[in-house]
Amino acid sequence: MKKNIIISLCLFLAAVEPILAGGNLLLKNGTILTVTKGTIPKGDILILDGFIRQIGENITAPAGVKVIDVSGKYIIPGIIDSHTHIALSGTNETGNTITAEVNMRDVLHAEDTSIFTAISGGVTTIHTLHGSANPIGGQNITLKLKWGKKAEEMIFAQAWPTLKFALGENVTQANRTVVGGEERRYPASRMGVVAIIRRELQRAREYIAQWDRYNEWQRLKMLNRPLLPPRKDLQLEALADLLRGKLVARCHSYRADETIEFIQLSHEFRFRVACFEHIPEAYKIAKELAAEKIGISVFMDSWAYKVEAAEGIATMPAYCAQQGVLVSINSDSNERIRRLFNDAAKAIKYGGLPEDEALKLVTLNPAIQLGVDKWVGSLEVGKHGDIAVFNEHPLSAYTRCDLTIIEGDIYFDREAYLKERQEAQKANPKPKLSGGGQ
Amino acid sequence: MKLKKLWFLALLLLITPRLMASGPTYAIVNCRVVSPPLPVIEKGVIIIRDGLIEAVGEAGKIQIPEDAEVIEAQGMIAYPGFIDAHTNLFLETTAAETPQQPPTARPPTGAVAEERSPAQPEFFVLSQIKPRQTIINSFLKVGVTTVLVAPERGIFSGQSVLLNLNGEKPEPMVVKNPVALHLQFVTARGGYPNSPMGTVAFIRQSFLDAAYYSNHLTTWKKSPRFLPRPVYNPVYEALAPFVNERKPVIITCNNQEDIKRAVRITQEFKLHAILSGANEAWRVAEELKAAKLPLLVALNFRPPATSLYSAQGEAVRRKAEQEVYPANPATLQKMGINFALTSLGLSDAATFQKNLQAAVKAGLPAEAALKALTITPAQILGVDSCLGTIEPGKIANVVLSSGDIFDAKSQVEKVWVDGKLLKIERAPEAKGPATISVAGAWKVTVSGPMGEMEMTMELEQEGNMVRGSISSSYGRWEIRDAAISGQELSFTLSVTIMGQSMDVAFSGRVEKDLIEGTLQVPGGAADFKATRIPREL
Amino acid sequence: MNLRKIIFCLLLSVACLFINYVKAEEVLAIIKVKIVPVVGEDIPEGTILIHGHKIEAVGSAVAVPPEAKIIDGRGLTAYPGMIDAWSTLGLYEIGSLQATIDYRETGRLNPQVLTTEALRPDSMHIPITRSNGITAALVVPSGGLIPGRSGLIQLWGGTPPEMVIKSPVAMHVELPAISRGGFRRQAGPREEGSRQLEEVKELLHQARFYEKRKIAASKNKILALPDFDEKLEALLPVTHGEMPLIISVHSAADIRAAIKFLQEEKLKGIFYGVSQGWMVAKEIAQADIPVIFGSLYDLPPSWEDGYDALYRNPGVLRQAGAKIAFSSSSASLAKELPYHAAKAAAFGLDKREALKAVTIYPAEILGVADLMGSLEKGKLANIVLAEGDILELRTVIRHVFIQGQEIELSSAYTEFLEKYRKRNEKKP
């Protein structure tokens, strides 16, 4: 009897999902590209309390649920940009070379108009990061782009907390002209970049050891002399968290060789690398990346702007995906962010990826890389109602995002936007907080 | 028995205030006395002696002392002198400005944060104060008798002082020193931290280190054997009481995210915090109410740069400044949040008054506004035992207004600060109505002893009053005390060029698209000529 | 013996001539292909006959000569090679290496420089671009008020002369772009385009006067020749009306000022950029000034313009009657040209017009409509065979012909991949 009660209690607890303060919506008659479970040529999606409850044909809406007819349109999972710097009040802390103590969560900027730009392109989740000025940057954060809401309401708490690393020309400041007499910042070569990261991780190891020693002394109570704890250092705490497995690394790298060096470091210090960012030369080491199970988050075809980007090729994402690497396409730009679906389509032309695999580059794959694939990244019952609706096939050059929905609430509605603009053109401009729908 | 009487007399002598030759005694009679939360006295009498309020009550019930100068105040209203609880007045910032660090200088390998800190918590702003009569006068004119002067540079910028605007020398002006530690979310140019997230990390690490240092010091003092002593650090010495003893910290918040950051830091380190600025406070009113932190709300209605209003173009920003932000105090008051009103960020006292009236118009009840300028700031700053109301024993800061002080038509007739009746200088305005508009953008050429300079000037005009600024390659300077009468324009300018600061007075004549006149500069006069820049599409 | 030798040599040389002749006059026939000539109706299945450099015939019933080399076009669609109306191809390799960038001269006034005199035919960006069906591009200078002159090249050739189709094409004038807050993060000083135009007016005036003095001096030996001024010399074709001005202009106010300027000076002009063109579309159309769009991969100048301002701009302008052309405004992303057009089609521009705006319209605007821009008899055989709509992102291009020569579709993309494919897929 007791056992039964315990079992039913466990089952009950397991069934109770985290409560989302989400919306209710029924989308009808659209072509649904689920990404993981095929395509439904004419289907409906029911979202209740922010979760997808039903996907299929001829679904009837429960009372009070708003119904939107999307006949002729295409429904895909909300797009995920796993590398951007929007929605923040700062990008780089360049006052120091190692800045692991800074946390982008402290500088969220909910009124950044770039958020609106992103949702107008179907993006619903972003991973927004510290910049690449430092070998070790700061702690990053994943957000849902709930335009009009407060910053705290945007935080996607389930995402893995990440720490930004960077290698290459941005860190060595190779493209910066040195004013006469000024000394370059260390590290100014790729040798120094590896050395400084190793030094910092070593310091973190010793910091952990210090605390372990102190805790041990405390425990043993061998106190015949006063005992002071070690100084709490926010920078070393962050690095220690990386070594303890509480943070995962996301490393900006361009060349294949520096990537391999970083992989060696991750083995040496036993920390996890979730993703390499940009890495245009990934195709050169596809087999290593696949073996290490480290994902890549890349541009489709932006290249040749720096020397380390001179051997980037548009066929790389498709090729690496075919070699078993987890590939996502990012924007790292407040302009490209609204064309991620266009970039995904190019993987079909440059490399021959099948359609669903191309769509995954901007939906499921970044979700997996961020640790949120349980909740977003594809259209499946039980996942969040994060959806983008396009008027043509999303991989067509002629397409346009018409609706962006996050957890069942509409955050971008092109029709409403156009109507508002028409009315605003007649009246005087009046200050309002929304750019398109609040 | 005799001994007891002697003791009693001695005690009496001790506790009775010493009757020095300390200025005249005043009896303000027949005025309305408004000093919330006390009940209004319709026809009252206020007796001021020795810088303090000796008595206040209904006319007829209070005996007028023989030695008192009687001030007939029939038809006028007496208020407690306003307390402007956060200003950056009187600071010799420009002259004392440290030479600009070369912008490309970088700290060496993995520099520890504190080596380059923009933290001066041990800095007492009183040492930098240089009171200026024109400014004092302009504040007295709008009813402000007490100001908190806060340091303005750096993240931990220093400790503030509360001054009564009673004269020219700083020392007799001091009411309380220090008042609080000031914290701002700014960055250190050319050093660490130079980003907002760096600033937050820096603040947190500084508080952690101050607590650690103080703990180390206390432990060592208690039992120094076998324990190395902490390396003396004036910054941590100064910071420690704010973490350990919960001394007050005033955190300047420019936008809603700053407010949230301030609340988080306050909660992490259990600070006794007061949030200042906060002109967007209404947008995080729920959080503020839950955090129970007192506010010093700036009457600066300009939407912060991070606000969406600022991103939507000049027209929208201006509309928000006129229609949305003035309602901030009213909204806070409806939510039951405790706040004082300040002039932080405003260029002059006249704007403070104008914005105060706008806030009342936007829905802030007059009594709430009055409280927010008198008893509430006194309480928040910990001086309510001697300031904030017209009560016997408190400091005699009294403002006599010709009518309701929030009415634009009213004028401050007389002001007492520390019991001294101060003279209010009125600008030579209203000699005649302005007959010409100077509003707009102007291209200025100044030719004088230092050569020729080109600048641009932007002016706004309201009746006789003119406001604006002049920009040049050396910086942007606010125009003060500007007035136009007929076609005669006059103003003063506080100018800083290459570390030198000076006050410059202008007087001249305005034609339709031309202003010509003279600028009085140290060393002589300069010709000032301005031509209007036509407005484009 | 001697005679035999002579006759043998003669025959040999004749044979060589013959071979050369045949080679130069090689005949190609693309058969069973869907044809989108751009001018005229689409042909569901037809033949394109190429004779040497030119298109000999296009139609559904074209006779194919027996000596023709046959290219099977089944499953493919033939388009005219696309024309990029604004790029830096050949003058840009790697953005951070100044030594590889040659489209920006120093100083404010450089009418004397010409882009096609600095081309790098080996640029790695060219094969990538032409592999995506773009066969010609206008190479433009940048920087300052008058950056220089542009020239039109074909994307094939070993030396600059082999690449140049028409040069110079136009004189360039750059008015400042709008930089305000809102979408763009930086807010810069607001400069008035009309002030710059006054400066240009003054320069043209000086050029005319310079010429007048030259002519007067050549007639009358007593008069002194003016000092040689390369800049004014370079401006003379503009004052004669022989060379159009391409004016980079963005704000509505500046566009109006530029229209007025062109009308007052009686000059032929083309506008580039026109980010706020949609505000003054009618005026641009009525002034009969063609428009070349900048990259649509950009944000609108201000929030008030609307997030889709640059996207709907082409549709609005075309609707008002303006002649339009798209550009990549790039070298490394010049291959994106068709997708800018498609993006505009997604936001209101008719799809057919979008295609024309990367083919026949730029040809007309740049004055080479007799040579390219459509699949018509007599034009150069710049032909693209694609597996579908060339404005579509997913379409694979199978063949590219420039002046009748089939181009190999290899590029840095394919070469790098091949080099490392072996490494990744080598069996241990």
> Which residues of C have a CB under 8 Å from any CB of A?
93-97, 124-125, 182-183, 297-299, 303-304, 306-308, 331-333, 335, 338-339, 342-343, 345-347, 351, 391-396, 412-414, 416-417, 420-421, 423-425
CA distance C359 to C345: 15
DSSP codes joined into one string, B272-336: EEEEEE-TTGGGGHHHHHHHT--EEEE---PPPTTSHHHHT-HHHHHHIIIIIGGGHHHHHHHTT
Residue with tokens 């180390």: B216
Mean pLDDT of chain B: 85
Minimal Cβ distance to C93: which of A304, A323, A421:
A304
**Which residues from chain B sit within 8 angstroms of residue A334, using beta carbons?**
none
Contact B197 A234 (CB under 8 A): no
User: Helices (H), strands (E): how many in chain B?
Assistant: 14, 26
Q: Does A314 touch chain C (CB under 8 A)?
A: yes
Is the Cβ–Cβ distance between B111 and A96 less than 8 Å? yes
CA distance B195 to B185: 10
pLDDT for residue A172 is more than 60: yes
pLDDT for residue C186 is more than 50: no
pLDDT for residue A13 is more than 70: no
* Residue A21 burial (C-beta neighbours within 10 Å; 0-12, 13-18, 19+): exposed
Q: Does A291 touch chain C (CB under 8 A)?
A: no
Contact A430 B116 (CB under 8 A): no
pLDDT-derived band at A438, boundaries 50, 70, 90:
very low
pLDDT for residue A3 is more than 80: no
Minimal Cβ distance to C345: which of A114, A398, A435:
A398
Same fold, B20-80+388-426 and B440-532: no
pLDDT for residue B439 is more than 90: no
**Which residues from chain C sit within 8 angstroms of residue A400, using beta carbons?**
346-347
- The pairing of strands C383-386 and C397-402 is antiparallel
Tens-place pLDDT, residues B387-399: 999 999 999 999 9
Is the Cβ–Cβ distance between C248 and C270 less than 8 Å? no
Q: In the CATH scheme, what is the code of domain B440-532?
A: 2.40.128.120
CA distance C356 to A121: 26
Which pLDDT score, from 0 to 100, does residue C343 have?
A: 98
**Which residues from chain C sit within 8 angstroms of residue B537, using beta carbons?**
252-253
Helix-helix angle A190-220:A234-244, to 10 degrees = 90
Which residues lie closer than 8 Å to B47 by C-beta, 6 or more apart?
B25, B26, B27, B28, B53, B54, B55, B56, B62, B64, B65, B68
pLDDT for residue A358 is more than 90: yes
Contact B536 C252 (CB under 8 A): no
**In this structure, is the dihedral angle defined by the CA atoms of residues B409, B414, B418 and B422, taken in order, positive or negative?**
positive
Which chains form contacts with chain C, at 3 or more CB pairs under 8 Å? Answer: A, B
Q: Does A176 touch chain C (CB under 8 A)?
A: no
- Burial of A408-422, coded b for 16+ CB within 10 Å and e otherwise, reads bbbbbbbeebeebee
pLDDT-derived band at A4, boundaries 50, 70, 90:
low
pLDDT for residue B220 is more than 60: yes
Please, which residues 89-148 of chain A have a Cβ atom closer than 8 Å to chain C?
113-114, 116-117, 120
Rounded to an integer, the average pLDDT of C48-57 is: 95
Contact A182 B191 (CB under 8 A): no
The CATH superfamily assigned to B20-80+388-426 is Urease, subunit C, domain 1 (2.30.40.10)
Which pLDDT score, from 0 to 100, does residue C187 have?
A: 34
For chain A, the structural domain boundaries read 19-78+377-438, 79-374
Domains and CATH numbers, chain C: 81-373 (3.20.20.140)
Is the Cβ–Cβ distance between A158 and A127 less than 8 Å? no
* A332–chain B nearest CA distance, Å: 19
Contact A109 B306 (CB under 8 A): yes
Which pLDDT score, from 0 to 100, does residue A14 have?
A: 44
pLDDT-derived band at B22, boundaries 50, 70, 90:
low
* A360–chain C nearest CA distance, Å: 16
Rounded to an integer, the average pLDDT of C257-285 is: 96
Which residues lie closer than 8 Å to B451 by C-beta, 6 or more apart?
none
CA distance B118 to B4: 60
Which pLDDT score, from 0 to 100, does residue B70 have?
A: 93
Interface test with C, best of A398, A418, A422 (most C CBs within 10 A): A398
For chain B, the structural domain boundaries read 20-80+388-426, 83-94+116-185+248-258+271-312+327-386, 440-532
Tens-place pLDDT, residues A341-353: 999 999 999 999 9
pLDDT-derived band at B153, boundaries 50, 70, 90:
confident
A111 closest CA partner among B255, B195, B329, B297: B255
Which pLDDT score, from 0 to 100, does residue C5 have?
A: 80
Contact C180 B311 (CB under 8 A): no
Mean pLDDT of chain C: 91
Contact B312 C180 (CB under 8 A): no
Q: What is the identity of the amino acid at B523?
A: G
Is the Cβ–Cβ distance between C373 and C358 less than 8 Å? no
Minimal Cβ distance to C182: which of B311, B536, B537:
B311
Which pLDDT score, from 0 to 100, does residue A288 have?
A: 96
pLDDT for residue A429 is more than 60: no
* C167–chain A nearest CA distance, Å: 27
Between B348 and B473, where is the model more confident? B348
pLDDT for residue B16 is more than 60: no
Number of Cβ pairs < 8 A linking chain A and chain B: 139
C183 closest CA partner among C348, C86, C310: C310
pLDDT-derived band at C66, boundaries 50, 70, 90:
very high
Listed as own residue / partner, the contacts of C97-104 with beta carbons closer than 8 Å and 24 or more positions apart are: C97/A307, C103/C139, C103/C140, C103/C141, C103/C142, C104/C141, C104/C142, C104/C143, C104/C147
Which pLDDT score, from 0 to 100, does residue C428 have?
A: 54
Q: What is the identity of the amino acid at B367?
A: E
CA distance C341 to C358: 7
Between B133 and A108, where is the model more confident? A108
Residue of A nearest to C93 (CA): A304
Contact A305 C332 (CB under 8 A): yes
- The answer as to CATH 3.20.20.140 being correct for domain A79-374 is yes
* B118–chain A nearest CA distance, Å: 12
Tens-place pLDDT, residues A112-155: 999 999 999 999 999 999 999 999 999 999 999 999 999 999 99
Q: What is the ipTM for the molecules in this complex? A: 0.90
The encoded tokens of residue A432 equal 């309002």
CA distance B177 to B461: 39
Which chains form contacts with chain B, at 3 or more CB pairs under 8 Å? Answer: A, C
CA distance B266 to B288: 12
Beta-strand (E) ranges in C266-422?
269-273, 291-293, 324-325, 383-386, 397-402, 405-407
> Hey, which residues does C383 pair with through a beta bridge?
C80, C401
Is the Cβ–Cβ distance between C322 and C286 less than 8 Å? no
- Centroid of chain to Cα A143: 8
Is the Cβ–Cβ distance between A46 and A371 less than 8 Å? no
Is the Cβ–Cβ distance between A94 and A377 less than 8 Å? no
At A79 the three-state DSSP class reads: strand
Is the Cβ–Cβ distance between C92 and C128 less than 8 Å? no
Minimal Cβ distance to A396: which of C182, C393, C423:
C393
**In this structure, is the dihedral angle defined by the CA atoms of residues C48, C53, C54 and C57, taken in order, positive or negative?**
negative
Question: What fold is seen in the domain A19-78+377-438?
Answer: Urease, subunit C; domain 1 (2.30.40)
Rounded to an integer, the average pLDDT of C297-309 is: 91
pLDDT above 90 coverage of chain A, percent: 86
pLDDT-derived band at B9, boundaries 50, 70, 90:
low
Residue of B nearest to C185 (CA): B311
pLDDT-derived band at B135, boundaries 50, 70, 90:
confident
Rounded to an integer, the average pLDDT of B218-234 is: 91
* Residue B313 burial (C-beta neighbours within 10 Å; 0-12, 13-18, 19+): middle
Rg (alpha carbons) of chain B, rounded to whole number = 26
Question: What fold is seen in the domain B83-94+116-185+248-258+271-312+327-386?
Answer: TIM Barrel (3.20.20)
Is the Cβ–Cβ distance between A385 and A378 less than 8 Å? no
Which pLDDT score, from 0 to 100, does residue C20 have?
A: 45
Contact B205 A104 (CB under 8 A): no
* B292–chain A nearest CA distance, Å: 19
pLDDT for residue B121 is more than 60: yes
